[in-house]
Amino acid sequence: MATQADVRNRRFATDATRATGRGTKPEEAGPARFIADPAAVGLAGFALTTMMLSVINVGIVSQKAMPVVLGLALAYGGAMQLLAGMWAFIKNDTFAAVALSSYGAFWISFYLLEKIFLPQIPAATQAAALALYLFSWCVFSFYMWLGSFRVSAAVQFVFLTLWPTYFFLGLGKAIGSTTVFEIGGGFGMATALAAWYVSAGLVMNRTFRRDILPMGELRSAQQDVAA
C-alpha cells in the first residue's frame, strides 16, 4: 500500500519531468538517488574558465593576465568539472559523464601545458604543437556535438560553438594568423555564454520546478534509458 510520502514523491517526480524534461529513471537506486544533476556545476566551471581565456584570446585583455586563468583552469574548470563528470557516471548519464570529465581533464592539461610542458618544446615548434593539441580537441568536440542531438537544443548550441572554437584557434596557430586565432576566441566567448545558459537553466528549472529557462530537451530522462 502506497504511503502518503510515496504519493508525494511520485507527484514531485512527475512535476519535475513536466517542468524540466529531465525526469529520473523509475529503477534508479543506490547512490545515484542522492546526487543532484552534476552538469549544472560542471558547465558553470567550464563556462567561467572558457570566458576568461577567450577574452584574452580575442585580445581584449593582455596575455600577461594568463595566470588568473590558470588558477581557474586547475580548480574550477579542471578539478570541479572532473568531479562533476565522475558524479555523472554514477547518475548513468553517459553523455554528461564523458563531456564533463573530458573537459575537466582538458583544463588540467592546459594548466600543465602552460606551466610545465610548453617551455620544454623548442620555440620554433610550439605553434605546431599547440595546433595539434587544439585540432585533436576539435575532433572530440565535433563528435560530442553529434551526440548532443539526442540531449537538448541548448547543449547542441554549446557544442556547435565549441568545436569551431578549437578549429579556429588551432588554425590560427598552424598558419600564424592572429586574426583567425581571435575568431576562435570569439567562438569561445559564445561557447561560454551558451554553457552558462545551460548551467543556469538546470539550476533555475530544478530549483523552481518549472521552465524558467527553456532547454529544448530531446530526451525524457536525465539518465541513459534502456531500450
Question: In degrees, to the nearest 5, what angle opens at C-alpha 162 toward C-alphas 66 and 140?
Answer: 105
217 φ, ψ to 5°? -60, 140
**Between these two residues, 41 and 35, which has the higher pLDDT value?**
41
Is the Cβ–Cβ distance between 100 and 82 less than 8 Å?
yes
- Look-up of cell digits 530544478: 206
**What's the pLDDT tens digit per position in 188-206?**
999 999 999 999 999 999 9
pLDDT at residue 17 in the model: 45
Is the Cβ–Cβ distance between 185 and 169 less than 8 Å?
yes
Is the Cβ–Cβ distance between 65 and 56 less than 8 Å?
yes
Alpha-carbon distance of 55 to 71, in angstroms, equals 16
For residues 172-177, give the mean pLDDT.
Answer: 97
pLDDT classification of 223: cutoffs 50, 70, 90 = low
pLDDT at residue 218 in the model: 86
Per the prediction, the chain carries an average pLDDT of 88
Alpha-carbon distance of 95 to 93, in angstroms, equals 6
**What's the pLDDT tens digit per position in 108-122?**
999 999 999 999 999
Amino acid found at 148 = S
